[in-house]
A = this chain, B = another copy of it.
Amino acid sequence: MSRISRYLPILSWARTYNQATFGADMLAAVIVTIMLIPQSLAYALLAGLPPEVGLYASILPLVAYAIFGTSRVLAVGPVAVVSLMTAAAVGNLDLPDMQSYIAAAIALAFISGLILTAMGLLRLGFLANFLSHPVIAGFITASGILIAISQLKHIFGISAHGHSLPDLIGSLISHLPETNPITLVLGLFTLFFLFWTRKGLKPLLRKLGLSNTLADIATKAGPVAAVAATTLAAYGFDLQSKGVAVVGTVPTGLPPIGLPEFAPDLWSQLFLSALLISIIGFVESVSVAQTLAAKNRQRIDPDQELIGLGTSNIASAISGGYPVTGGFARSVVNFDAGAKTPAAGAFTAIGIALAALFLTPFLFFLPKATLAATIIVAVLSLVDLSILRHAWGYSRVDFAAVATTIALTLGLGVEAGVSAGVLLSIGLHLYKTSRPHVAEVGLVPNTQHFRNILRHKVKTVPHLVTLRIDESLYFANARFLEDYVYDRIVCDDPISDVVLMCSAVNEIDLSALESLEAINTRLSELDIRLHLTEVKGPVMDRLKRSHFLDDLTGDVFLAQYDAWVHLAGDRAKAA
């Protein structure tokens, strides 16, 4: 792959583009467009933004991703979790009017785009690995719950605010007496209908003789049908005059193009939020992209994906949109519908642009309750509390990470939740490695293999203590090892040799080297020799650069068995 086509993946697929791939991409684009129109309106509502902002975020970003992204089928655009995080980030600023709220959301997309692009160019994609699986799973689940609860206000036709569960529920309860009964009926009916199209419609259509693919597509069209039906109902029965909130006037036309205003104060206020949104968006998107790529035996380049998502967000910002990323449900639809290249995304962009040009007048009577219902049904599939049981069964540490992330996301909001989850994961990992597992080992009879004396029936000799250190030696556990060795040699046996088996020691840093030197000195004062075995190549190279090997009272053996043969002596053979 040449240097240019690494940064412009479009060059590698555009060359072989032909009529067959065009047809496949076109079909997928039509299906995704139909799905994306209500979604983009709904997620804009979730982010606290006017509906057209959702449409704007679904045009240029898709074109940018088609040029710079590496996934063939990822569908970029507004997604639920990032919309929620946008609402939290911009909501925290306490802005005076909708105009500055929109400007802040645009700025958020712009900063996020710059962060993602910079990370891609600097090849910092590995940073996303510090979001552990339990933290992501917990965060997505808690976000799903927060989103669903936050949308209940539209179902009841009341106002409610808050970015955490206690705030939201308190606000909902205090406004409950203002419930609009017609909105509630409409909302519940839509909810019921959407759940039914998810669970009950497909089997029914199959029974009626439709092919699996057609039944699938019809099922996915549920939200479109709900939008059309409730809009017509609102228009026909003049529900607006009866207090049902509708979308209202949506400006017609393509988004205004222009760089966001330079506002360093606002940008620095939004920086941390933008960083969190960038990383969460990237992790979500790249895992979808990798899952789908694996099915087609394709590969994703995570660092180029950062550039793809970064340019998408910059494109969103310069065309009046808000932060975007690759969406799970939409990408799966794109994949199932047979999209072959990122051109499908560009065609979807054309579809949304046409909608922005010609469809907006028809959206006036679209009830907000309908959009809220589509969001609730979509996000409930994100909620998966089984991760709690799963993590508990596997490890208490992973469980702590999941539980903390869920509790803090619900209790304090998305930013506190995900930050706490990441810091806790790293903290717990460091804590574990600071108190490493050290096993005293002996020889498994009739082999050259050494195992823990507490778990296996092994041969040992009293004057020889062999400790297998199950961790790299570094500053956080260097002193622990010192204490461990000193404690172990306080015993009645006439110990003459201590062997440190280093098969699991992948690193010895300068702090640990000082500790090893201290152990060597202390043991030599007690007439005990210190030996190392199974030291790995890279570690040995490092030790050779210090004076440690010159001062070592014992030897370094390639294999633990060699040390045994040399040191266990006649007593071992007799044993």
Residues of chain A whose beta carbon lies under 8 Å from any beta carbon of chain B: 126, 129-135, 294, 299, 390-391, 393-395, 397-398, 425-426, 429-437, 439, 447-449, 452, 455, 470-472, 474-480, 486, 503-507, 509-511, 513-514, 522, 536-538, 542, 545-546, 558-559, 561
Contact = CB atoms under 8 A, between A and B. Distances in A.
B430 A426 contact: yes
A455 B558 CA distance: 13
Contacts of A434: 126, 129-130
A130 B480 CA distance: 12
A475 B522 contact: no
Contact of A132 (B391, B475, B503): B475
Contact of A398 (B133, B398, B431, B509): B509
A372 B445 CA distance: 69
B294 A130 contact: no
B536 A470 contact: yes
Nearest to A398: B510
Given A475-B129, A503-B504, A506-B471, A449 B448 contact: yes
B506 A503 contact: no
Contacts of A480: 126, 129
12 contacts: A126-B476, A129-B476, A129-B479, A129-B480, A130-B434, A132-B510, A397-B509, A398-B509, A439-B536, A455-B537, A470-B538, A504-B536
Contact of A429 (B431, B474, B486): B474
Contacts of A475: 129-135, 425, 429
B506 A436 contact: yes
Contacts of A507: 432
A545 B393 contact: yes
A522 B131 CA distance: 23
Contacts of A430: 130, 426
A441 to B, nearest CB: 11
A134 B511 contact: yes
A510 to B, nearest CB: 4
Contacts of A130: 430, 434, 475-476
A538 B538 CA distance: 26
A393 B510 CA distance: 10
A479 to B, nearest CB: 5
B129 A477 contact: yes
Contacts of A455: 537
Q: Across chains A and B, which 6 residue pairs bring their CB atoms closest together, nearest first?
A: A132-B475, A133-B511, A398-B510, A470-B506, A504-B504, A448-B448
A6 to B, nearest CB: 16
Contact of A393 (B433, B437, B470, B546): B546
A134 B478 contact: no
Contacts of A439: 536-537
Given A509-B398, A559-B447, A437 B538 contact: yes
A393 B452 CA distance: 36
Contacts of A390: 510
Nearest to A450: B559
B511 A132 contact: yes
A309 to B, nearest CB: 17
Instruction: Tell me which of A393, A507, A509, A538 has the highest count of chain B C-beta atoms within 10 A of its own C-beta.
Output: A509
A476 B131 CA distance: 8
Contact of A394 (B131, B513, B538): B513
A466 to B, nearest CB: 15
Instruction: Tell me which of A130, A429, A486 has the highest count of chain B C-beta atoms within 10 A of its own C-beta.
Output: A429
